[in-house]
Structure 1
Amino acid sequence: MEKLFFLLSGEHPELPAGEVKAILEAHGLEYRVVESRDQLLILEAPQEACEIVAQRAALCFNCGRVLFESRAEWESILESARGAPWNLIEGKSFAVRVKRVKGSAPQIGSQDLQRLLGDLALRYADTKVSLEKPDVVVQAILTEDVLVAGMVLATVDKKQFLERRPRGRPFFHPGVLSPKASRVFVNLARACPGELLLDPFCGTGGFLIEAAMIGCTPIGVDIDERMVKGALRNMRFYELEGELLRGDARKLPFTKVDAIATDPPYGRSASTKRTPLPELYRDFLEETAGVLPSKSYLVVAAPSDLDVEKLAALAGFRIMEKYSVRVHKSLTRVLYVLVR
């Protein structure tokens, strides 16, 4: 077990850390939370956790091994940095990057900090500076009243989500979630490569695309045949495989899937056939409880005024996590992580 840092996005106060932990749980990796601060999560976990998180996460920038921690004061930084294991970058070129979270520690200048850490690395290790193409990036993170410095082991490819933006697909429908949001749903469902992930309200196929991208076998169901055909076009556009069929989320033609992630349509008549929302969720949850094995996860979003906790309990689910998420400009939804 190593002490690892995860530099998180600031898009939500809780979801980024929840996503990282869900990914590790999906892959069966043990971890212990050492510290959680604004846009920073420190865990004790196997080093392989960094690569796995970087391959899957949507709300993380980079991650790596912690070199040292200190108070955000020059004396404390100098004392802690002198004792850091700089030998880890021995024989490699390096660059120091500073991330200041939301104006934290303004008394610590970024350039001064870069210079100090660079000088110490050169003093204690046989290394050299390379600002353009370093072998190793030393990430210094100033958050709240602390500094955490670490050696980056893996970086998340953020560009991929922009490249898969919904309006760039052959079939588009207003109101669909972004690829990043879709990936978070899939990750919170703890789906692993090779497992079956079901979206019973698949719409244009955003969740299916993200599930396939991480190696899952996606299954999409929608009551609207136009959506099913459109989702299939979108999957083929990215040369991805999956199963899509027209059907009712309340009468699933499956006996078993490994995980479920979905964003129901909240009463849009074209997708719900005018079924009252509480009835739709009640029947959907009861049906999915019959196809999920014990200890498997279902991730679903719902309007904040819908009593999903009661409906989930009646269907035999336990609520493991709950996040309030502003998905669109005028709409806040609650994201529930349920387990059988």
Structure 2
Amino acid sequence: MRYAKFSMDDPFISMAEVRALVEGEVHFLAGVALLPDGREKIASRSSTVKVSGKLLSASHDPKEVNEAIRGRCFSIYPDVILGRDKNMFRALYSEATKGVETSKRCPKLDLVFTDGVIVAGIREEERDSKSLREHSMKPFSQSGTMDPFTSRLMVNLARVRKRVLDPFVGVGSILLESAWMGLDCVGVDVDPSMVTKAKANLSHFNYQCHVIQGSVTSLNLVGGFHVVTDPPYGRSSSAKGATLRELYAAFLSVSAELMERGGRLVFASDSREDWRDEIRSAGLKTVSTHLIYLHKSLSRAIYVVERG
């Protein structure tokens, strides 16, 4: 088995991302997921998973953990997920690590205490924080631009394996993450200045995506996509005179036509708006919604939608 330690900033979103990245049963503890073998590239592709690797032991008994690691050499990284357990873990840590040689030259061992269980695993992957930092410094940005962490999260929630479409591309935040993952990516925006900025941002990182100017209501594309996008939120937003609800209804209808069967649509919205009726009217079904706090006047809702 394998393990993944994820961010506790919003554990439910982290759990949803792990489920999207992993095929097969996943067992969750607070801050940790235990995964089946055969699914690498979890932490390195993730937005919220910090580290992952090969599971050596997961037990309430420190002696059992010690049996799995005794006589070996590790660089140990202890972590207590729930702060109230720190004092308890001190005694358990001492017993679990008896007979273990420690050196920074040896493999990294994550020793995580959570829900009364000690999880021990050899770290093999870490979140690619460097690329996230670099993408946050793209040449063109603007107020309300989606951050790289949320953009990468949304692409992962969509379970994209090959083709991804962003019909409200803006400055290209979602395309940057899609291209970084090596996906076949297409972006559309009605505003020619946004198209220019998105292309410039992609070019800055030597990424390749097809970016075109056009309206979401009149896309001329062949289907087979997963759709990931950050549509307009403001109540005054419009497209050729359409109201915001008309724009979303058209966008959802077009997305349903362009999605491959079993494909996913992941989109962001102001959490004060409810799009479930429009989603049903487009012949789609809502799988889940997740709230991300931005500031005191706005929380972002992430909708995960499927085509049957």
- State the TM-score, normalized to the length of structure 1: 0.83
**Residues 66-145 of structure 1: pairs in structure 2 closer than 5 A:** 66-71=55-60, 76-77=61-62, 79-84=63-68, 86=69, 93-110=73-90, 115-120=94-99, 122=100, 128-131=101-104, 133-134=105-106, 136-145=107-116
Give 1:94 deviation, angstroms. Answer: 1.4
**Residues 106-185 of structure 1: pairs in structure 2 closer than 5 A:** 106-110=86-90, 115-120=94-99, 122=100, 128-131=101-104, 133-134=105-106, 136-165=107-136, 168-185=137-154
Query: Could you tell me how far apart the structure 2 residues matched to 1:314 and 1:237 are?
Result: 40
Given that residues 104 and 144 in structure 1 are in contact (C-alpha distance below 8 angstroms), is that contact kept between their aligned partners in structure 2?
no
Query: Could you tell me how far apart the structure 1 residues matched to 2:213 and 2:224 are?
Result: 17
**What is the aligned-residue RMSD (CA, Å)?**
2.1
Secondary structure in 1 matching 2:160:
coil
Name the stretch that deviates more: 224-233 or 261-270: 261-270
Given that residues 100 and 143 in structure 1 are in contact (C-alpha distance below 8 angstroms), is that contact kept between their aligned partners in structure 2?
yes
Aligned to 2:26: 33
Aligned to 1:125: none
Pairing partner for 1:217 from 165, 181, 184: 184
Given that residues 33 and 42 in structure 1 are in contact (C-alpha distance below 8 angstroms), is that contact kept between their aligned partners in structure 2?
yes
Pairing partner for 1:18 from 16, 33, 53: 16
Given that residues 66 and 97 in structure 2 are in contact (C-alpha distance below 8 angstroms), is that contact kept between their aligned partners in structure 1?
no
Aligned to 1:258: 225
Q: Which segments of 5 or more consecutive residues in structure 2 lack a partner in the other structure?
A: none
Structure 1 residues 268, 245: closer, same or farther in 2, change over 3 A? farther
Query: Could you tell me how far apart the structure 2 residues matched to 1:173 and 1:304 are?
Result: 21
Amino acid at match of 2:109: V
* Percent identity of paired positions between Structure 1 and Structure 2: 29
Given that residues 174 and 228 in structure 2 are in contact (C-alpha distance below 8 angstroms), is that contact kept between their aligned partners in structure 1?
yes
Partner deviation per Cα, 1:148-186 (whole Å, 9 max, x = no partner): 222222222222211221xx2221111111111100011
Pairing partner for 1:243 from 207, 210, 213: 210
Amino acid at match of 2:145: V
Structure 1 residues 217, 271: closer, same or farther in 2, change over 3 A? farther
Aligned to 2:297: 330
Amino acid at match of 1:144: D
Secondary structure in 1 matching 2:44:
helix
Give 1:113 deviation, angstroms. Answer: 5.3
Query: Could you tell me how far apart the structure 2 residues matched to 1:201 and 1:329 are?
Result: 25
Partner deviation per Cα, 1:2-49 (whole Å, 9 max, x = no partner): 2x211001221211121122123xxxxx42123x22211122x12x42
Give 1:339 deviation, angstroms. Answer: 0.8
Give 1:249 deviation, angstroms. Answer: 1.1
Secondary structure in 1 matching 2:174:
helix
Given that residues 237 and 244 in structure 2 are in contact (C-alpha distance below 8 angstroms), is that contact kept between their aligned partners in structure 1?
no
Given that residues 236 and 244 in structure 2 are in contact (C-alpha distance below 8 angstroms), is that contact kept between their aligned partners in structure 1?
no
Give 1:138 deviation, angstroms. Answer: 1.4
Query: Could you tell me how far apart the structure 2 residues matched to 1:232 and 1:271 are?
Result: 23
Query: Could you tell me how far apart the structure 1 residues matched to 2:115 and 2:231 are?
Result: 38
Query: Could you tell me how far apart the structure 2 residues matched to 1:175 and 1:273 are?
Result: 22
Partner deviation per Cα, 1:286-323 (whole Å, 9 max, x = no partner): 11111112111100112223231111111011112221
Residue 289 of structure 1 pairs with residue 278 of structure 2: no
Query: Could you tell me how far apart the structure 2 residues matched to 1:254 and 1:155 are?
Result: 37
Query: Could you tell me how far apart the structure 1 residues matched to 2:128 and 2:271 are?
Result: 32
Query: Could you tell me how far apart the structure 2 residues matched to 1:267 and 1:261 are?
Result: 19
Q: Which segments of 5 or more consecutive residues in structure 1 lack a partner in the other structure?
A: 25-29, 123-127
Query: Could you tell me how far apart the structure 2 residues matched to 1:251 and 1:114 are?
Result: 61
Aligned length: 307
Give 1:116 deviation, angstroms. Answer: 3.9
